[in-house]
Amino acid sequence: MAMKQEALLKKVYEINDLNKALALLSWDKEVNMPPGGITSRIQQMTTLGRLAHQMATSTEMGDLIEAAAAELNGAGYDSNEASLIRELRRSYKDATKLPEEFVVRATEITGQAHGFWVKARANNDFAVFQPWLAEIIGLCQEQAELYGYEDEKYDALLDKYERDMKTAEVRAIFDAVKTELVPLRQVIEERGTAVNDNFLHQHYEIDKQKQFARYAAAAIGYDFNRGHLGTVVHPFATSFSRDDARITTRWNPDFLNPALFGTLHESGHAMYEQGTHPDLARTPLARGTSLGIHESQSRMMENMVGRNRGFWRTHYPVLQAFFPAQLGEHSAEDFYRAINKTMPSYIRVEADELTYNFHIILRFELEQAMLNGDLQAQDLPAAWNAKFEELLGIVPPTDTVGCLQDVHWSRVYFGYFPTYALGNLYAAQLFETAVAQNPAITTELEQGRTTSLLAWMRENIHQHGKKFTPRELIQRATGRPLSHEPFMRYVTQKFSDIYGL
Amino acid sequence: MAMKQEALLKKVYEINDLNKALALLSWDKEVNMPPGGITSRIQQMTTLGRLAHQMATSTEMGDLIEAAAAELNGAGYDSNEASLIRELRRSYKDATKLPEEFVVRATEITGQAHGFWVKARANNDFAVFQPWLAEIIGLCQEQAELYGYEDEKYDALLDKYERDMKTAEVRAIFDAVKTELVPLRQVIEERGTAVNDNFLHQHYEIDKQKQFARYAAAAIGYDFNRGHLGTVVHPFATSFSRDDARITTRWNPDFLNPALFGTLHESGHAMYEQGTHPDLARTPLARGTSLGIHESQSRMMENMVGRNRGFWRTHYPVLQAFFPAQLGEHSAEDFYRAINKTMPSYIRVEADELTYNFHIILRFELEQAMLNGDLQAQDLPAAWNAKFEELLGIVPPTDTVGCLQDVHWSRVYFGYFPTYALGNLYAAQLFETAVAQNPAITTELEQGRTTSLLAWMRENIHQHGKKFTPRELIQRATGRPLSHEPFMRYVTQKFSDIYGL
């Protein structure tokens, strides 16, 4: 290995190990830490975060990157070496764009804003949060200027989560989704046959839920030899290496769906990390390339696999054996229809596969309006409710289940939301291509297996880690740029069938 | 706060936070990590260990210590500031005594030696381990020279675990224990009334064991709001701060004692850490002062509280309620006698309160002989068995349950063993003094409570953390140096009663 490259890797590994220790401090905080431990835990996380940041932004690091870059010679664009240099240059540049003064101020403001958001949501009192939202909007505007952009302000923020994606592209795609999805939703509402999902809302013993969740996660291909399932309040997936990619779940004793589909969702995230190429280990390339692509893997496992009719033909009898009293009288087809019931609802995280994107499109549009100064903080509730009615046909009865429901706007997270819907669209396009290239995927799914599907994802998505941008990756994997069409084909076919249209 | 002191603390906090993250990486490795995660976990631990070591041994750190020391002015010996300087100077000096070449070589040798020890123990084949033991002895001799000593070689190693304690002192105390304990053991064997503990060896459901272990740990004063009980193969306690001091246990479905008394033992360790003074937080003083004093707290909770007659008068009915089938027909007195049954046995970690020290004295004497060149590796099994018979009246049938049983001699851990027995002696002396100063301790114990006992330990031991040496601490707390007498008084009284002598 070239000498400069070796010196760079040594430092990269060191920073990686610090960041992974930080990730463990954070995971443990949610999963195991006793309440008393919080103060010292925050101190420890702050120290490790600062050390890692200092190393990553030092002039020594800058010099190491450029020295190794000069030594690259013929290494092609696709090589690990060249990809690493691209990623390091990019993050080095980004990390030095925000002055410390701004970071400190933003941390202070959001630290306070979060508390007021909690209070406002609990008491359905938007006024309490309103001045803080105004501050957050200001911070987002400032941050966009600091990062810089060519076309639209929103580009600068979107880019943090979905590298090189432009607001205009997302807007075009979302508009197309909207145009086709609104009528589909309406026709289901008006003409669809009724779906009964009452039996999912019964008492399901948590111990058995845990056993079945593990069974289901293993069935879709999550590797427990390199994984771990923990219990938390707010589920997430995290990885300390490709060989230790963990999932978390919360357990609801009176509703089967949250833990079951939550586990499949987080497994999809973790399987992406488990599938990164071993040669990328300990570098910033050993992770998913963007939030959108990451979400494509979780949504695919949750919905396209986990809410697939064939999949349950195989696994439903096992679930019935765990819960004979609750499910004994309901067929696999009943279950398939129940878990795919669609209905407009107020809360994003509880939304079904068909209506979920509406919740995102709404936020995407409101965020842009706030960022561009077209929507003031005090006008948010009215704007939210109007858009909600336009897209979903209902109006939230309170701001608590309306514009106050998500944590994101109490942080400087503008630009994050669209990645959820992009994930659904990527997922459909990847799935459609995979099935076209390997029909065995469909046959296997009918038998409850994902071997070939997972192999295709490993080959075309997972192994590359963060080597390529989302745009590059979707082009390489499917031969064309992201489009709304595969998603629309998928939901139209699936829901027309279920609702007998 | 003085400026130099502040600069020093900033660095001390940083090193502490790194070391605590390292401790979490290590804890998680035993409690949660999936098997696949081991390689990257070792890399992460190595990186954090190296960074912390580099910071702690940097010339910058040396300068910070001396600059702050010069600024101490009038701060008395007992002050936190002066105590911190003493501890930092000492560990700074120690850390620079072992050349990197030695550390690397020792790590390589013990890395291999451990594997051969595992094999030798599994196959009862001492010859497989013998050449590696010879290497380890050599490393210990070398290490003793590197650390340096005034009187005896063994002093240099003992000092690592029991600061400022001399081999000669320990020898005098252990000899006195031996002189009095051997006849007591023999008289119990010859004239004691029989004790039945068969009913402890039944099936005890692990879920109920877990519930009762938590109940018992809370009953002796372990604070779960600042603690956590995890499951592992080899139990230990660890702390990430005084407000997050964790215990671990292993569960045996067919024997009640290991998990129950193991939990009380580890709780004792963790309660020591939970009791360090908040002002010492994030410094190397916020921890137990030595392995021996640490062990005094765990053995006190395991034996003097956990095997106390009055304690079980209160808590035994609760245990019976968990296990009516197993314990319904046995009285609290039966239980008290059963958990205090004494009998010579081969395995140290399974030894009872009375015979435990013999296992340590034997190792202490053999370690010195090996270190001084008076005992060669190949002669260990014979020497072990001879001493075993002298002290315990039985001879191990195999080396697996003899000289191969402990992991310590596959590492460079000579000097560690004596601290286990010192713990028993410190415990008895502290307990005797505490009871003399506050008779309420006895009354409370009769009612199953430890409030006053814990308050006394907090005041006299816990809060001081590592400010004082074990010698200083025992003198301050009990008004005299360590003696074997309280321990002998305690076991003579307790076992004479149980065995009707």
Per-residue pLDDT tens digits of chain A, which is 501 residues long: 678 999 999 999 999 999 999 999 999 999 999 999 999 999 999 999 999 999 999 999 999 999 999 998 888 999 999 999 999 999 999 988 988 899 889 999 998 999 999 999 999 999 999 999 999 999 999 999 999 999 999 999 999 999 999 999 999 999 999 999 999 999 999 999 999 999 999 999 999 999 999 999 999 999 999 999 999 999 999 999 999 999 999 999 999 999 999 999 999 999 999 999 999 999 999 999 999 999 999 999 999 999 999 999 999 999 999 999 999 999 999 999 999 999 999 999 999 999 999 999 999 999 999 999 999 999 999 999 999 999 999 999 999 999 999 999 999 999 999 999 999 999 999 999 999 999 999 999 999 999 999 999 999 999 999 999 999 999 999 999 999 999 999 999 999 999 999
| Per-residue model confidence (pLDDT) at position A1 | 60
Cβ separation A228–B48 shorter than 8 A = no
| CA-based nearest residue in chain B for residue A46 | B17
Cβ neighbours of residue A293 closer than 8 Å, sequence gap 6 or more: A272, A423, A426, A461, A470, A473, A474
- For the beta sheet containing A229-231, the strands, ordered from the edge strand earlier in sequence to the opposite edge, are A229-231, A244-249, A237-241
Query: To the nearest whole angstrom, how far is the Cα of B209 from the nearest Cα of chain A?
Result: 18
Mutate to test the interface with A, among B47, B239, B276, B287 (most CBs of A within 10 A): B47
Beta-carbon contacts below 8 Å between A and B: 121
Q: Which CATH number fits domain B198-345+419-498: 3.40.50.620, 3.40.50.12140, 3.40.50.150, 1.10.1370.30?
A: 1.10.1370.30
Residue B39 φ then ψ, to 5° = -65, -50
**How far, in whole angstroms, is CA A495 from its chain's centroid?**
23
| Per-residue model confidence (pLDDT) at position B239 | 98
- The verdict on A240 touching B (C-beta cutoff 8 Å) is yes
Decide if A61 contacts A260 (C-beta within 8 A): no
- Contact residues, chain A, for B39 at CB < 8 Å: 241, 243
- The verdict on A39 touching B (C-beta cutoff 8 Å) is yes
**How far is it, in rounded angstroms, from Cα B179 to Cα A229?**
55
| CA-based nearest residue in chain B for residue A224 | B34
- The verdict on B54 touching A (C-beta cutoff 8 Å) is no
Q: Is the pTM of this model over 0.90?
A: yes
Cβ separation B36–A225 shorter than 8 A = yes
Decide if B21 contacts A17 (C-beta within 8 A): no
Cβ separation B41–A244 shorter than 8 A = yes
| Per-residue model confidence (pLDDT) at position B1 | 60
Which of B17, B34, B48 minimises the CB distance to A224?
B34
**How far is it, in rounded angstroms, from Cα A318 to Cα A329?**
14
- Contact residues, chain A, for B282 at CB < 8 Å: 40, 43
| CA-based nearest residue in chain B for residue A32 | B228
Cβ separation B43–A17 shorter than 8 A = yes
Q: From the CB of residue A175, how many other CB atoms can be counted at a distance below 10 Å?
A: 13
pLDDT digits (tens, 9 = 90+) for B389-444: 999 999 999 999 999 999 999 999 999 999 999 999 999 999 999 999 999 999 99
Rounded-to-10 torsion of CA A375, A378, A382, A387:
30
What tokens were used for A17? Answer: 């190990």
Catalytic residue among B81, B87, B135, B266: B266
Is B365 a catalytic site residue?
Answer: no
- The verdict on A276 touching B (C-beta cutoff 8 Å) is no
Decide if A45 contacts A26 (C-beta within 8 A): yes
| CA-based nearest residue in chain A for residue B228 | A34
- Contact residues, chain A, for B33 at CB < 8 Å: 228, 244
Which of A25, A34, A47 minimises the CB distance to B227?
A34
| CA-based nearest residue in chain B for residue A36 | B226
Which of A21, A33, A41 minimises the CB distance to B25?
A21
- The verdict on A54 touching B (C-beta cutoff 8 Å) is no
Cβ separation A48–B244 shorter than 8 A = no
- The verdict on B43 touching A (C-beta cutoff 8 Å) is yes
Cβ separation B39–A243 shorter than 8 A = yes
Cβ separation A20–B44 shorter than 8 A = yes
Decide if A53 contacts B26 (C-beta within 8 A): no
Rounded-to-10 torsion of CA B428, B433, B434, B440:
110
Residue B104 has pLDDT above 90, yes or no: no
In terms of Cβ atoms closer than 10 Å to its own Cβ (0-12, 13-18, 19+), residue A35 is exposed
Q: Three-state secondary structure along B206-237?
A: HHHHHHHHHHHHHHHCCCHHHCCEEECCCCCE
Catalytic residue among A81, A87, A135, A266: A266
What tokens were used for A489? Answer: 């084909």
Query: To the nearest whole angstrom, how far is the Cα of A206 from the nearest Cα of chain B?
Result: 15
* ipTM value greater than 0.95: no
Cβ separation A24–B25 shorter than 8 A = yes
- The verdict on B379 touching A (C-beta cutoff 8 Å) is no
- Nearest alpha carbon to residue A221 among A256, A273, A257: A273
Beta bridge partners of A230: A248
Mutate to test the interface with B, among A44, A222, A231 (most CBs of B within 10 A): A44
- Contact residues, chain A, for B36 at CB < 8 Å: 223, 225-226, 243-244
Confidence of residue B74 (pLDDT cuts 50, 70, 90): confident
